[in-house]
Amino acid sequence: MTQRLKVIGNYISPYVRKLLVCLELKGLDYEIDPVVPFFGDERFSQLSPLRTIPVMIDGDLVLNDSSVICQYIEDKYPQVPLYPTDVADRARARWLEEFADTRLGDVLVWRLFYEKGIRRHVFGEETDEAVVNDALERAIPSALDYLETQLPAEGFLFGALSIADIAIACFFRNAAFVRYTIDAQRWPRTATFVARVHALPAFQKLAVFEERSLRVPVPQQRELLIELGAPVSAESLSGTTPRKGVRRIA
C-alpha cells in the first residue's frame, strides 16, 4: 500500500497553498498537520531547521521549501504536468514562481498580511502603519506594474495551467484576507488573471478551510478542520507558544 504524503503547514500560508493546489491538481493522496506559522514545537524545528512551512514527508524523505517540494512532486508524479515542457518557458515559469515567492511574499505577506493580521492576532503587537502605508503606496504598485507586463489577457501564462500561475495567485489570497483588492482599472490583466486562477476548483476547495480557519482562535483550528473534513493527520507538531523565525514562511 502506498504511504500517504504528509504536509506540515497551515492552510492560510501562501506557500502551503501552492503545494496543496499542486497535490490536488495531480490527484495525490495526502494528509496535513495544519501547524500555524510560528507555532511549531521542537520536533518541528528538527524537521524544518529554518522553522518555515511547508514541510513534506514522503516515507523516509523530508523536504523543505515549497519550490523544492513542488519540483519533487512534478518529477515523481508527472501526470497532470504543472511545468511547461519547452525549456525557455520552463525557465520563465520558475522565475515567475520565484518572483511570487520573494517579491509578492515580501510586499503582500510580510508588509501587509503579517502587519495587519499575524502581528496583531498571534503576537499581540501593534501594526506598523508606516510599513503598511509604504506597501500600499509604493511596494505593491511596483510589483503589480511588473505583473501587468507579464500576465496574459486570457487563459494562463503558458497555455496550460502551470506552477507560475498557481504561485502568483496564492499570494493574493492572503492579501484578500486583510481586505486588499487589486485595482482593476489600473491593473486589468492582473485583476482578471488572479480572479480566473482563484476560481479553479482546487483553489475553491482549499478556500473553505482557509476562510473558516481565520474565524476561530489558533487553538481551535485543528478541531474545526477535522469537523470540516480536511485530511488532518493523527499527530501534530504544533506547540502552544508562538516564536518568530525566518522572515519567509516558504
Sign of CA dihedral 117, 248, 170, 242: negative
Residue 151 has pLDDT above 90, yes or no: yes
Residue 191 has pLDDT above 70, yes or no: yes
Whether the Cβ atoms of residue 66 and residue 250 lie closer than 8 Å to each other: yes
CATH of domain 87-201: 1.20.1050.10
pLDDT value, residue 3: 76
C-alpha grid cell for residue 10?
A: 497551515
**Starting at the edge strand that comes first in sequence, how are the strands of the sheet with 5-8 ordered?**
30-33, 5-8, 55-58, 61-64
Residue 166 has pLDDT above 70, yes or no: yes
**Cβ-based neighbours of 23, under 8 Å, separated by 6 or more:** 5, 7, 30, 73
What mean pLDDT, rounded, does the chain reach? 93
Give ∠ CA 25-26-29 in degrees, rounded to 5: 105
Residue 175 has pLDDT above 70, yes or no: yes
Residue 248 has pLDDT above 60, yes or no: no
> Greater confidence, 3 or 29?
29
The span from the CA of 231 to the CA of 217, in Å, is 20
C-alpha grid cell for residue 81?
A: 504536468
Q: For the chain, what are the domain ranges?
A: 87-201
Confidence band, pLDDT 50/70/90 cuts, at residue 38: confident
The span from the CA of 222 to the CA of 218, in Å, is 8
- Identity (one letter) of the amino acid at 250? A
Instruction: Give the pLDDT mean for 112-134.
Output: 90
Residue 246 has pLDDT above 60, yes or no: no
Which residue, among 209, 245, 239, 241, has the nearest Cα to 12 in the 3D structure?
Answer: 209
The span from the CA of 110 to the CA of 116, in Å, is 9
